[in-house]
Amino acid sequence: MNKKIAFITGATAGIGEATANLLAKNGYNLILCGRRAERLIALQSQLKANYQTESHCAVFDIRDKESVQTAIQNIPEAFKGIDVLVNNAGLASGLATIDKGDLADWETMIDTNLKGLLYVSRQIIPGMVERKSGYIVNISSIAGKEVYANGNVYCATKFAVDALNKAMRIELSVHPIRVTGIYPGAVETEFSIVRFHGDETRAKAVYEGFDSLLASDIADAIHYVISTPPHVNINELVIMPTAQPMPGIIHRK
Ligand code: NDP
Ligand code: 8X3
């Protein structure tokens, strides 16, 4: 197998799923990760039929460090030489002022967006260091650059991803491993359904009256950065809908 291998967390939906499709189309073999096994298996068959992609489904919860370790250690030999890690899995849970926030929501976001990203990275980076090659794409958010009202803990986790993105680049460029942070504004995915705990009506309203970003826009950016020549490192890409110049301002029709 001489195709490059990309490991994508959160491949069952949204940005991760769109990225899996685009990278498969562009000749990558894939390790597809998420908790919803049936979605990963369906995606695996679809990518095989459409692009002859070989993929391995790794079903695990990134919050559970033992599961992360076991799933990554059990990757079949043919997929172990990971070229690209896309740290995408993440979520917002709730939208409330800091005096009213739900502690369980806070813990879910911290455990997923920050600790989960660390658990996965800690398992994969040593192999990249050993092979002296690799590309890491960290999906932060515009919420990792600007704080908005009621975003408090979600923003804090995405600022943390920004810090880790910089830290990885400082520490890993010597190997040489390249590291890019991507900071999207509003992308219509399952994100708001998850944020509002399954309230689809409230989620739909977030994207009404303007053209939000599409998951495929972020997949295009990921494909672009990992396709640059080895002497180029795109440090960061902040990508916003034209109608959302900053968090909190959306020009609705
Ligand atoms: P989706 O809800 O559509 O997808 C989220 C993905 O993350 C799913 O595949 C989900 O898989 C996975 N995931 C969530 N929690 C876990 C977990 N504990 N273990 C393993 N996988 C998990 O949202 P998006 O595609 O929009 O979000 C992707 C990333 O982009 C997130 O980090 C998000 O913060 C970020 N982002 C999103 C923006 C947006 O407006 N949509 C804007 C800026 C950044 P499963 O449930 O099957 O485990
Ligand atoms: C998601 C972007 O602005 O909806 O990370 O929080 S925002």
199 occurs within a structural domain: yes
To test ligand 1's pocket by mutation, which of 8, 9, 15 has the most ligand atoms within 8 angstroms of CB?
A: 15
Q: What is the mean pLDDT of residues 184-212?
A: 98
253 occurs within a structural domain: no
Distance between alpha carbon 23 and the CA centroid of its chain, in Å? 14
The reported pTM is 0.98
* Domain total of the chain: 1
Spatial CA neighbour of 120 closest among 31, 32, 206, 9: 9
The whole domain housing 172 covers: 5-239
Question: Would you say residue 142 has pLDDT above 70?
Answer: yes
Question: Would you say residue 233 has pLDDT above 70?
Answer: yes
Residues 6+ apart with CB under 8 A from 245: none
Is 183 marked active-site?
Answer: no
pLDDT of residue 2: 81
To test ligand 1's pocket by mutation, which of 17, 21, 33, 35 has the most ligand atoms within 8 angstroms of CB?
A: 35
For residue 160, give both structure tokens: 């943390």
Q: What is the mean pLDDT of residues 225-240?
A: 98
Q: To the nearest whole percent, how much of the chain has pLDDT over 70?
A: 100
Assess contact for 136 and 122: CB atoms under 8 A: no
119 occurs within a structural domain: yes
pLDDT of residue 45: 98
Q: Which burial class, exposed, middle or buried, applies to 11 when counting CB atoms under 10 A from its CB (0-12, 13-18, 19+)? A: buried
- Ligand nearest the Cα atom of residue 62: 1
We report the CATH number of the domain holding residue 214 as: 3.40.50.720
Mean pLDDT of the chain: 98
250 occurs within a structural domain: no
Report the first-to-last Cα separation within the chain, whole angstroms.
50
97 occurs within a structural domain: yes
Choosing from 28, 119, 135, 154, which is the catalytic residue?
A: 154
Question: What are the two backbone dihedrals, phi and then psi, of residue 112, each rounded to the nearest 5 degrees?
Answer: -85, -60
Q: What is the mean pLDDT of residues 84-112?
A: 98
Q: What is the mean pLDDT of residues 102-109?
A: 98
Question: Would you say residue 215 has pLDDT above 80?
Answer: yes
| Alpha carbon of 191 to ligand 1 centroid (Å) | 6
pLDDT of residue 168: 98
Maximum CA extent, the chain: 54
| Alpha carbon of 142 to ligand 2 centroid (Å) | 6
246 occurs within a structural domain: no
Q: DSSP per residue over 122-147, as a string? A: HHHHHHHHHHT-EEEEEE--GGGTS-
123 occurs within a structural domain: yes
Q: Whose CA is nearest to atom 39 of ligand 1?
A: 187
Question: Would you say residue 1 has pLDDT above 60?
Answer: no
194 occurs within a structural domain: yes
